[in-house]
Amino acid sequence: MDPSPTKRSTRQKKPSLKALESQFLNNLQHSGFVAKINSDDEEPEFQFSDDDVEMCEIEAPKLLHDDEHIRGEDIFKFHTRKQRNSLANKVAESCGAKTPNIQRMKMKEMIAAKIREEESGSEYEHSEASSSESESQGSGESSDSDEEPQKKMSQLKISNLKADNNRKTKGTNKYTIQTDEYFASTGKNKTSNNTLDKLDTPRLPQYELQKILSNMKLSKEHDKAVNRLLERNNSQFDKWLYILNENFSILVYGLGSKRNVLQNFQNTYLKNLPVIVVNGFFPTLSIKNVLDGIIVDMLELKENPGNLYEACDLIEEEFKKIPETHLYLIVHNIEGDMICNGKAQNVLSRLAAVRNIHLIASIDHINGPLIWDHSKLSKFNYIWWDVTSFLPYIEETSFERSMMVQKTGSLALSSLKNVFLSLTTNSKSIYLIIAKHQLENAKNQYYQGLAFKDLYMSCRESFIVSSDLALRAQLTEFVDHKMVKLKRSYDGAEYLQIPLPNALLQKFLDEQE
């Protein structure tokens, strides 16, 4: 068999390095630049003729100006400006002819007139003086006159910018606060000596205020609207009675006094039934008064326990014995200052949970419901009812002055509770001994307080303190917190007294028990 023909690659062979070198030298000889080449080992000697030199002279490029020739190697170098305003001068030369002197004078006058309209004072005088000085110069000095308009225009612009900045800063300086003023006080804090007595129209007495409110005359449209609201509220009395008999409590809310509405409900449907009315806004009210009214006045029981929860247990047992007896408890302003505490609300919720006791209450404060937790709300079992009347709060505000005094006492009582909770067990026992002794002698007009020696003997018998120094250390804490006042008699004996009204002190002891 014939051998298969060999395949030849179509790829061209690269010339060798020697071939490339000979080809390069050949091209140089034919170009006319190379006169003679000796050998491969020797360096070629270049000989140029005059014609070749003329050929090699290449014309240098021209940049910006015709009279300057720049070499190629100088193109990539950095050059510094020889003159400060060379570029501006070249631009001015390229613009053509100069502005005539008459036109320059007109422009100056126009600029000066605008400045007079916009500015005043020193800026106006400065611009006028500069314009007059420029006019006094000779018109023959061409170089100075060319630079004057540019300088004056720049000066005018600078002055205008300064004036604008001054106007802006003058208006904003009063509102800017420095860091030193913000973080540190530069002087003493000034307090005002103004009081209510210095007013031209001081506060009115309570009777005059009530007289003005009672004689207040309203428009006919307002009276008609109020009467329509009263009619609508009175039409709900049947539903209220049904809801109360179904062991629900009713809580009425809305704008205006709701006292008249609840009184109308009492006079209409509860006239011949046992009713107890509680005025929550009354300053001397206590939850013990409510329990005494039920036990003594209604049930006519001889037993009246001093403990609130024992009294609630007694009431629940009596109503279970006589299931046909019903009691309607009407509470005006159940969020009043004297019954808004947790203990009073707990007692009211227990009474509302009794099957034969029916509670209907009113509330006015927007944050009043915050005094109840889930357990109290479940016992109250409220039905919320909107009773907007737009009637004035005449009765509710009749004890405004007394409420203000009593409110101060309530604040003192709350602060006393907070401090009392932070005391140790022995300190609490010592304070309760002082409080009980003060209440026992409440009817004594000449009561000076508990003598220190008597307090020490009582504490020693109860094993509360071991020495009089320990007792004095406890009393120092009471005096520092203003819980106890220490007085000395004429014979040098020390007496201790709590600076709190007896009613609030009794309330404090009831809550602690």
The span from the CA of 265 to the CA of 362, in Å, is 13
The span from the CA of 257 to the CA of 318, in Å, is 35
Concatenating the DSSP letter of every residue in 272-305 gives TS-EEEEETT-TT--HHHHHHIIIIIIS--S---
> By three-state DSSP, how is residue 29 classified?
helix
Among 370, 358, 361, 357, smallest CA distance to 332 is for: 361
pLDDT at 206: 64
Concatenating the DSSP letter of every residue in 171-201 gives HHGGG---HHHHHS-SSPPP-----GGGSSS
pLDDT at 97: 58
233 phi and psi, to 5 degrees?
A: -65, -40
Domain edges within the chain? 18-56, 221-386, 410-512
**Contacting residues for 475 by C-beta, under 8 A, at least 6 apart:** 430, 484, 486, 496
Asked whether 330 and 276 are in contact (CB, 8 A), the reply is yes
Which tokens sit at 106? 């007109």
The span from the CA of 227 to the CA of 389, in Å, is 9
pLDDT at 385: 94
The span from the CA of 455 to the CA of 348, in Å, is 38
Task: Kindly give the confidence (pLDDT) of every residue in the chain, 513 residues in length, as a single tens digit, with 9 standing for 90 and above.
Answer: 455 555 555 555 666 666 777 777 777 666 555 544 444 444 444 444 555 444 444 444 444 445 555 565 565 555 555 556 666 677 666 665 566 778 888 888 888 888 887 765 544 444 444 545 444 444 444 445 555 555 556 665 566 655 555 555 554 445 555 655 555 555 555 666 666 556 666 566 666 767 777 777 778 898 899 999 999 999 999 999 999 999 999 999 999 999 999 999 999 999 889 999 999 888 778 898 899 899 988 888 888 888 888 999 999 999 998 888 899 999 999 998 888 888 899 999 999 999 999 999 999 988 889 999 999 999 999 999 999 999 888 788 776 543 333 344 555 676 777 778 888 888 888 988 998 888 888 888 778 888 888 889 988 888 888 888 888 888 888 888 878 888 888 777 888 888 888 878 888 888 776
> By three-state DSSP, how is residue 490 classified?
coil
CATH topology classification for 410-512:
Arc Repressor Mutant, subunit A (1.10.10)
The residue behind tokens 């690269």 is: 14
Please give the model's pTM, rounded to 2 decimal places: 0.45
Edge-to-edge, what's the strand order for the sheet holding 494-497? 450-451, 494-497, 485-488
Among 319, 343, 321, smallest CA distance to 329 is for: 319
The span from the CA of 135 to the CA of 138, in Å, is 8
pLDDT at 57: 47
Which tokens sit at 460? 């020693």
pLDDT at 235: 92
The residue behind tokens 């007079």 is: 116
pLDDT at 9: 52
**Contacting residues for 89 by C-beta, under 8 A, at least 6 apart:** 83
The span from the CA of 359 to the CA of 250, in Å, is 7
Whether CATH 3.40.50.300 fits 221-386: yes
DSSP structure class, residue 45: B
The residue behind tokens 């540190």 is: 184
**Contacting residues for 13 by C-beta, under 8 A, at least 6 apart:** none
